[in-house]
Amino acid sequence: MPMPDPNVVAIIPAAGRGRRVGGELPKQYRPLQGKPLLWHTLNLFEGCPVVQGIILVIHPEDRALCREQVLGGEEGFAKVRQVVDGGAERFESVLAGLQATGEADEIIVVHDAARPFVSAALIHRVIAAAVRYDAAIAAVPAIDTIKEVEEKVVVRTLPRSRMWCAQTPQAFRRELLQEAYSRLTPGEGATDEAGLIERLGKPVQIVVGEHKNFKVTTVEDLAEAEWRMSKSGETEKSRDRRRVGQGYDVHRLQSGRDLVLGGIHVDHPRGLEGHSDADVLTHAIIDALLGATGLGDIGRQFPDSDPAYKDISSLILLESVGEMLSKRGVEVLNVDAVIVAQSPRLAPYLGAMSDAMSRVLHLPSERISLKATTTEGLGFVGREEGIAAQAVALVDL
């Protein structure tokens, strides 16, 4: 018998002053497409079916402003069950929201008021991870090299492969978050709730976030937010811009070559002929991702006339494509691919292939679906002259 869905309450801390954007009006009340920034964030959680209630935490001086500009519209927000006063620091505001929750509230999800571009899919994934692991946060892998600096002098360079940039939403079992706050001593604080959980020695699960889910902090961020909403046609209801791409590739089988599929070496007397490692599966997925984002194909991005790509691992090319998409704010939602080969039997390798590609794309492996089939002896595949692959990718722009 399936377990019932947990009761989920979102805390939206919106008590900050947002001084870095300038002006008298706090940033969460600055207009974007005719509505306050805070309105857009609340609207996302109002429309998220896995969230049952919202606790809004505001500055006590903003009550009239919030009521008139955010909560007083014709539509309103049915899920906002309480509006409470926050503190001088963010962690104090989250604590005020936590104290307004009840025993029936099992999962607490915290989200910055100034992140109006989070998708419902990401909210759902973070909550699902918290249900399974007790604590989970959205985060994206660092793109730039990270330096530790003291008095404007570099102390050391941190390993970028291990660096992730934390985002919200962050979700936790209510009792775990309460315990973390109860352990705070006077003068202590935290820049996010995950930091409090870490102090308990408890693990915090990472859910791959979205580069478009940025926090509006500066005047430039406000301009970027306005442009993004205008570009995507955002009005009163948030809509994802999703695109589908497809890829197809085929390579001839050749003696004296290793057979590499999905970045995994497959035991077979012949491999695939090509300029790179001729990984036909990864090539098809690359073409699907590039096609979904209007970036051409693998031949345009990595021409076989360039000696730099001679015998290169196609996983390196896939990782490069993933970084290319991340820099453009593109989120890969899922990949579905099929390998068409008469032999060898590929089923035992599919899990390893999915894991290898999920690592370079920084995606959960369940978002990469792989299958293998034969042609029942028909055609060039049936005659074991070559191997083909087809792929479809869904991305969110």
Q: What's the angle, vertex CA 314, arms to CA 311 and CA 316, rounded to 5?
A: 100
Q: Comparing C-alpha atoms, which of 28, 30, 60 is closest to residue 42?
A: 28
298 in a structural domain: yes
136 & 273 share domain:
no
260 & 116 share domain:
no
Q: Show which of 200, 231, 262 is a domain's final residue.
A: 231
227 & 263 share domain:
no
pLDDT attached to residue 20: 63
Query: Using an 8 Å Cβ cutoff, are 226 and 32 in contact?
Result: yes
Where residue 1 falls among pLDDT bands split at 50, 70, 90?
A: very low
Q: What residues does 205 pair with on adjacent strands?
A: 136
214 & 257 share domain:
no
262 & 227 share domain:
no
2 in a structural domain: no
Judged against a pLDDT cut of 90, whether residue 330 lies above it is answered with no
pLDDT tens, position by position, 219-255: 888 888 888 887 665 433 444 578 999 999 999 999 9
Q: What residues does 386 pair with on adjacent strands?
A: 252
116 & 218 share domain:
yes
Look up the domain containing 307 and give its range: 242-396
Q: Comparing C-alpha atoms, which of 61, 58, 54, 56 is closest to residue 15?
A: 58
Q: Comparing C-alpha atoms, which of 393, 364, 376, 379 is closest to residue 281?
A: 393
Where residue 75 falls among pLDDT bands split at 50, 70, 90?
A: low
Domain count, the chain: 2
345 & 259 share domain:
yes
Q: Comparing C-alpha atoms, which of 287, 164, 232 is closest to residue 397?
A: 232
- pLDDT above 70 covers a percentage of the chain that reads 94
Average pLDDT over residues 61-71: 92
CA 396, CA 243: separation in Å to the nearest integer? 6
pLDDT attached to residue 358: 87
Q: Where are the alpha helices (DSSP H) in 111-201?
A: 120-133, 174-182, 193-199
pLDDT attached to residue 73: 63
3 in a structural domain: no
Q: How many helices (H) and strands (E) does the chain have?
A: 12, 18
Q: Where are the beta strands (DSSP E) in the chain?
A: 8-14, 31-32, 35-36, 53-58, 80-85, 107-110, 135-141, 146-150, 153-158, 164-173, 205-208, 242-255, 259-261, 264-266, 270-272, 331-340, 368-373, 386-396
pLDDT tens, position by position, 98-150: 999 999 999 999 999 999 999 888 998 899 899 999 999 999 988 888 999 99
247, two tokens: 């890829």
pLDDT attached to residue 21: 64
pTM score above 0.85: no
Give the DSSP letter of residue 393: E
179 & 323 share domain:
no
236 in a structural domain: no
Judged against a pLDDT cut of 90, whether residue 277 lies above it is answered with yes
Where residue 22 falls among pLDDT bands split at 50, 70, 90?
A: low
